[in-house]
Amino acid sequence: MSKGTSSITYPVGGEIEFVCASQSHQRRPSATRISNVSLEDITSTLLKTEQVAAEWLQLVAKVFWKGGSTFDAWLNASSAQIAQVLLTFPYSFAQMGLASGMAFMLLYGLLGCWSSYTMTCLYADYRKLKEMQNVTFEHHTIQWYEVLDGLLGPWWKAAGLIFNGALLFCTATIQLIACGSTVYYISDDLDKRSWTLIFGACCSLSILIPTAHNYRMWSFAGIIMTTYTAWYLALASLSIKREPSVTHHGPVSTEEYFTGATNFLYAFGGHAVTIEIMDAMWEPKKFKSVYVYAIAYVLLILVIPSAVTVYLRFGDKMLINPNAFAVLPKTKFRDAAVILMVIHQFIEFGLLAIPIYIIWEKFLGVHHKQCYIMKVIARVPVILGIWFVALMIPFFGPINSIVGSFLTSSSIYILPCAAHITYYGIGASRSDSAEPHSWIGAYYLNLGTIAWVLIVGVGFGAWASIQNMKKEIDTFGLFAKCYQCDQEP
């Protein structure tokens, strides 16, 4: 039986074993196929994941980094237009009186819009001319002095380069001075000069930003910050009970009056970054309306509510306090406003410094190089120069008037209007213009702008600003350790 059993068992066992072996042999290719499918699936999944990640990175870059729309231009123009100068408007009202201050503010806002329009016309014709010559502007940022050179020749190029370059340099310097002056109201453990040293190091990071195309996120943040600061100034002033001793004498001298007037002149006109912002747009022709909206926002939402309420509340006390934060009590809301304003000043510094960097890159011959590191290294001397001047002349407030009377007058108002008259004075230029407009009306408006700015801005404004700056230097000296610190509350 055991034999039968074994005969039955072994065959069966052998059969079973054989079947198992057969099944094993049959399954191995199947397992191999499954393994191959799994590898393909993994590879496909990884590729899809990589593609999705790339799409998300492109989306993030598009949303936060790369911008050329009309809204981006408005963000850049509004952000560049107003920052630290917002804090000096009550000081200028105290110098001029409320009625005169409002009149000059609105006047220079309108003249700034007109100046921007003339530059838009000239830029459009320059670009049209170059495109007809098959010139491409890939990896190239068009600047104001190049427009003047292409349309009017080398002497105009030199004027644009000197005045615009100097204005950009000085305005960036003012932003750095303002950072040190403003943050002092949060912490006076360090003097203003030490804070300026620290913020100079922070502002040096601006050498890493390629062009105004890459400023969408920063400009948006700047607008939010300045809006908060403006309305903090207004509401904080309204919440403080007005003292009976507050006076509003208005202009106390001709010198003070025209010093205040040149601060308003300095505040408008685009701070010499008009062409760079326009060139970063996908449709540059729309900038003429963009700037009008930017000025409307700055005047109606930011400047008038804040500057008027601070001046009415504190009156002539503002004559010894160029920075509006100096007269407001220390609270968490003021500290927040100070921090946000300092951040915006840092942001605006970059927006103003980028055109200077690009000018310097072109001078050194590295602007069209593809090496990003080379461009960053080339920018270092520019930031060092701005840093040095900010430490040497830390006179927050008076320096605005100096820059306004000499550089803003020439670069923002006189030069564009004179260039517009010269170029469009030729009939062929008018007939071929990319931006057709009334020549007679433009001619007289240009002449009126030039005459007014020459007399009031360069003439009286320069005289008053120089006298005021001389007093500050005699009182505090160059490289002042802590300008007006003994006057802080």
Residue type, 228: Y
DSSP letter for each residue of 110-147: HHHHHHHHHHHHHHHHHHHHHHHTT---TT----HHHH
Q: What is the mean pLDDT of residues 101-130?
A: 90
Residue the block writes with tokens 């007093």: 471
Tens digit of each residue's pLDDT (9 = 90 or more) over 368-390: 677 778 888 888 888 888 888 88
Range list of H helices, 141-245: 144-152, 154-183, 192-203, 216-239
Phi, psi (5° rounding) for residue 205? -65, -15
Instruction: Specify the residue for token string 């900038």.
Output: 287
Which of 172, 120, 93, 114 lies closest to 354, judged by CA? 172
Convert 138-161 to b/e letters by CB count within 10 Å (16 or more is b). Answer: eeebbbbbbbbbbbbeeebbebbb
pLDDT, position 425: 84
Is the pLDDT at 485 greater than 70, yes or no?
Answer: no
The set of residues, in sequence order, having a beta carbon less than 8 Å from that of 123 and lying 6+ positions away, is 142, 147, 275, 278, 279, 284
How many separate helices (H) and strands (E) can be counted in the chain?
A: 19, 0
What was the pLDDT predicted at 3? 43
Give the model's confidence band at 60: pLDDT under 50 very low, under 70 low, under 90 confident, else very high.
low
User: What residues contact 202, with CB distance under 8 A and at least 6 apart?
Assistant: 179, 346
Confidence at residue 453, expressed as pLDDT on a 0 to 100 scale: 92
Domain chopping of the chain, boundaries: 66-476
> What global pTM score does this model have?
0.76
How long a stretch of residues is the chain? Answer: 489
Q: Of 150, 147, 79, 89, whose CA–CA distance to 118 is shortest?
A: 147
Asked if 288 and 69 touch (Cβ cutoff 8 Å), the reply is: no
pLDDT for residue 37 is more than 60? no
Coil, strand, or helix at residue 484?
coil
- What's the confidence (pLDDT) of residue 59? 53
Give the type of residue at 210.
Answer: P
CATH among 1.20.1740.10, 3.30.70.270, 3.50.50.60, 3.90.226.10 for 66-476: 1.20.1740.10
SS3 category, 480: coil
Residue 221 scores a pLDDT above 80: yes
The label of the residue with tokens 């930017």 reads 294
Whether the pLDDT of residue 57 is over 70: the answer is no
- Written as six digits, the tokens of 299 are 């005047």
Query: What is residue 345's predicted lDDT score, i.e. its pLDDT?
Result: 80
Mean pLDDT, the chain, integer: 79
Spatial contact of 461 and 262, defined as CB atoms under 8 Å apart: yes
Tokens of 159: 């004027």
Span 407-452, pLDDT tens digits: 888 888 999 999 999 998 887 777 777 777 778 888 999 999 999 9
Residue 295's identity, in one-letter code, is: I
**Cα angle 148, 149, 150; round to 5:** 95
Least confident range from 43-52, 75-84, 430-439: namely: 43-52
